[in-house]
Structures are given as C-alpha cells and as structure tokens.
Structure 1
Amino acid sequence: MSPQAPAPARPMRADARRNRERILTAAAAEFEEHGPEAALEDIASRAGVGIGTLYRHFPDRQALLVAVYREGVDSLVHCGDELLAADDPFDGLARWLGAQLEHSRKHQSLAASAMLNMLDDPDGPPPPCEAMMTTGAALLARAQERGVVRADVDASDVSRMVGAIALATDGAPDGPVCSNRLFQVMLDGLRPPAER
C-alpha cells in the first residue's frame, strides 16, 4: 500500500490573516523600540489581540523574531525587484541600498537574533539574505553594465558597506544624520572615477 500524500494546508481565514499581520506590525515596532527581548504581552496588546492569539500564530519568541525579520527582508526584495525597472540604474541601486540601510538601522539587534535562530534550523527555508543578495547583485550588475557604477565592486562589498554604516552609527546621538552622510560618501565612491 503506497503512503498517502499529506493533505494540502488549509488557507488561512481572513480574520486570522489580519491578526497575523497586526501581530507582525506590532512586533516590528516593539522590537525596534525595545530590542528582541520586548515583552510578548506588550506586542499582543499593541496588536489588539490576546496573548493566546499571538501564540497560535507564533509558538515562541524565536518564531516571531524570524517572521518579523523575514517579512522585512521580503519587503526589501520586492522593492528591489520593482527598482530593476527604474529608468536610472544608479538611482534604482541607490534607492534600494537606502532602503537596506533603513532596515539595518531599525533591525540591527533583531537581525542577529533571527539569523542565529535560522542557522539553528538547517531544515527550514533558506535564509532570506540569499534572496536579498540576489536582488542586490542584479541591481548592481545593471548599473555596472550602464557604466554608472565602478566595475571593481561586487554585491557583497556593497552590502558590507551598508551594514558597516548601520553598525557604526547605531546608538550615536546623531545616528540617522551621520549614517545618511556616510551613505552619501559611499554612493559617491561607487561612481566610476570619471564621473566623480
């Protein structure tokens, strides 16, 4: 007798989907304000749901951390996919890197916690940074092909620079101002020497 195929997952009800989205939005705000140790009860309260509803969607803190991080990265990837059609490839790359910097600034401590949890689950879906690197590489290659970005950098170089700016300015009194200034210096450095 051949084994039965697993039953397809039932689609989430509309009210459950709305609750899940509200929990993720509230969690992102709480984690940004209080770090990855933000109280789950405060997240549920901010989302307007009971703690039981939160646990039905996310069985523990780690699951919620990973879901918030994945949603942020998925949003970045979607943004990057849209920017691949931008008329100005340098502007498209710059806007995507700016969105990546903003995400890094908001979720610095969350990213570390989420990545550790994802690495602990080798059977889980691939880490979302792979999709982010693919999107960044496509935007960078397009700008390089048009000759508006120097040819001697790759996607990992650019990603490291954005991460370094976020890390170096984290917690600084003028953090956003300083990171924006450093980001502009980085963008200037990405231009081919003839265009500077």
Structure 2
Amino acid sequence: MTRVFLASHNAKKLAELSRILAPHLPSVQVLGLADVPAYDEPVEDQPSFEGNALLKARAGFAHTGLPTLADDSGLCVDALNGMPGILSARWSGPPKSDEHNNELLLAQLADVPDERRGAHFTCVIAFVHAGGELTVEGTMPGRVIREVRGSGGFGYDVLFEASDRPGVTTAELSVEDKDAISHRGHALREIAPQVAALLG
C-alpha cells in the first residue's frame, strides 16, 4: 500500500484525489489531515496559488514524512480583475462560509451584464517528497450566473457555468462529469502519473 498525504480536511477533495490516482497507483491510500497527528497548518500568506500550494505541501511533508500533495485553488472573475483569486475561500471574511462568499460575489456582480461575467477556476497542485518538489496548474473557463443552482460540489460551484457544459452549473454536474472538466481534475490527471512514477 502506497500512502500519500493530502494536506486537506475536505472529504470531497480526498475522494476526488483517490479516484483520479487509483488508475495510476492501484494500491494508493490517500490520507487527509484527520488521519495524521495534528500540526499547526501554515498561514496561506503567499501572493500566488503556487506559493500557497507549496507552503501547505512542504508543511505536510515536514510534519508527516509522507509524500504530500496540497492544492490551492480559487475563482478568478474577469470583471473583478481576477478576484477573489487566492482569497476565494475567505472572500466574505471570517468565519469561512460558502454561502456568504456566494452572496457577496452576486452582490458585487449585480450590475455586470451577462456578456462580461466571464471567469475561470484555477488550481495549482504541489507535490513534495524526499526527492524534491513539483507543481502543476489546471484551469476551467466559464462564467458566473445570476442565481444559486445545484447541490453538488462546494464553494462557488453553485454560481459557475463551465464553458464545456453551458446551461448547468458545476454544482449540477455528476461527479464524473465535473472531474472530466474541472480545474482540479485537469491538474490531478497531469500530476497523477508523475506521482506514480516517483513513488512506483
């Protein structure tokens, strides 16, 4: 059994990583933060997705000794000059709340016409292991709609229509359909064979 640590509490991210890694590493066991002794997680104070992903992966590797993956991702809205970006999870301030973040985003875009509501999700995944570090980036272009729709996914999925699946939000897609087009899916599929080769 190959153990890989994903520096996250998010059960949906752990399940997603397990699904995508499995074809490359059939014996992989993905552990999350709940599966290892608690440690002080670093403050995400870097100015880029890559910087924050590396910060989390380095901390995870230092504290667990396990090959560690970490991601930083967010929604970049054209009309907001790329924001919320790296601030996506805490856009509406503490405490973290998907509902409050979505309410604030809708309010900020209330007067923006449909043709200027373009946006994209970005995900950078960092992998830190005894032999070094690597990062990959995935994106999912689309647009922000005007009302919350769907019950799947998390974060801004209820407000986002991907260019590859117009007419439905990413919160209305099946898990398989979302994996196929998502920023995290693209990044995970790129990094999975590299992780398998390094650990195999």
* TM-score normalised by the chain length of structure 1: 0.30
Greater share of strand: 2
Structure (1/2) with the larger helix percentage: 1
**Between Structure 1 and Structure 2, whose CA radius of gyration is higher?**
1
TM-score, normalised by the number of residues in structure 2: 0.30
